[in-house]
Amino acid sequence: MTNHDHPLSRKNILICVGGGIAAYKVCEVISQLYKWGVNLEIILTDSAQKFITPLTLSTLARKSAYTDRDFWQPVYSRPLHITLGEWADLMVIAPLTANTLGKLVYGLADNLLTNTILASTCPIIVAPAMNTQMWLQKSVQDNWQKLHRDSRYHLLHTNTGLLACDQVGKGRMAEAKEILISIESIISSQGKRDLVGKNILISGGNTREYIDPVRFIGNPATGKMGIALANACYYRGGKVTLVAGNINSQLLQQLPPIQIISVTTAEEMESAMMSNFSQADITYMAAAVADVKPCNYSSQKLSKQSLPSNLKLEQVNDIVAKLGEIKQPTQKLIGFAAQTGDILTPAKEKLQRKKLDAIVANPIDKDNAGFATDTNEAILIDRQEQQTIIETTTKLTLAHHIINKTLEN
């Protein structure tokens, strides 16, 4: 999949930059969106220009960046804020200052940014950034909670770390990668928050069945599909629990504030899934779980000479089949089948035998699909064995397609 085949290609996204040192992070966001073929427009507030120049952002976007100077000049055939507001499929405000936050809550409009917001109906992502004491002020937190209640706004969390004031605390703006994930999620879901009030349980990654402390039976699943599902469900309003099997910490750091249960073996994954399953409205079993494990485990590393020539194996419990046995009528259970060759026949068999509501069959013997890739393709099969073909796309957009079909049935 080329950059210009990206799911965001040709979407209209308006980036609004507020006044704060975190404005530098927006450069990476704009640069990546341009590479993906997004139609970009940029607005900078007067205070934003004290931290980053319109020339910098216009160079990255290959488009002129608008300021309040443009807003007050009668040089356009239609009012600029009306034109931009009607054009945008999505707006992103980053960094969001305490000042602009207050204006959003009370519907104030005294510059190009705030007037454009009132002249638009599209979803809006906001990424706040400020000093810890400013962020924790009761007035700011009250405004933040009020903004939560407006379904147009999709609120990114602040991170904890070293701030420009040399304090360590909450208030750091979300990283560029997190902003890009939220943009793709909101575009893919069309801003819907259709999982609000739903508990979502997801397994991702792989399991390892150890022979000794350094050798194990495993598989190459990285957890990228599970991560994508967790992000997609979170941005649609779900309360998400991810059971993460050996997922790299850098991938986990891309996640918003959800519950993460880290496990290593199939037995640990089974315990975590069984403990959390009864509260789940929807469960996605995306992890690649081992089918067998060594009969014997050595607590000491075995020398090469003492390794058994024939490794005795025993089967591990089939987690998703056990969940299918105890699933209640109000719950939905979706499995995954990573296959080579014929992906449909084994997937249909698993669907029925394991009492799933749907199964996602995907090839692992094609380029840009399967383990460790950022893209995937799949055939989604429901209980009636109706098939939905999902062409090669990012795993995040694929996750949204899966959620859409889950909610249809």
- The catalytic site residues sit at 165
Measuring CA to CA, which residue among 184, 203, 248, 197 is closest to residue 222?
248
Any residues with CB less than 8 A from the CB of 295 and at least 6 apart, and which?
312, 313, 314
Q: Which two three-digit tokens encode residue 44?
A: 């900078």
Alpha-helical regions (H) of 21-148 = 25-35, 54-61, 68-71, 80-87, 98-106, 112-118, 132-136, 138-148
| Alpha carbons 262 and 352: distance in angstroms, whole number | 29
Determine contact, residues 47/19, Cβ cutoff 8 Å: yes
Output the CA–CA distances (angstroms, integers) from residue 203 to 1, 53, 282, 348, in the order listed.
26, 44, 12, 21
Q: Which two three-digit tokens encode residue 329?
A: 């009528």
Q: Which residues pair with 212 in a beta bridge?
A: 215
| Alpha carbons 292 and 290: distance in angstroms, whole number | 6
Burial class (CB in 10 A: 0-12, 13-18, 19+), 356: buried
Which of helix, strand or coil describes residue 293?
Answer: strand
Q: What is the largest CA-CA distance in the chain?
A: 84
DSSP code at position 18:
-
Determine contact, residues 1/368, Cβ cutoff 8 Å: yes
| Alpha carbons 74 and 76: distance in angstroms, whole number | 6
Question: Helices 176-189 and 224-235 sit at what angle, rounded to 10 degrees?
Answer: 70
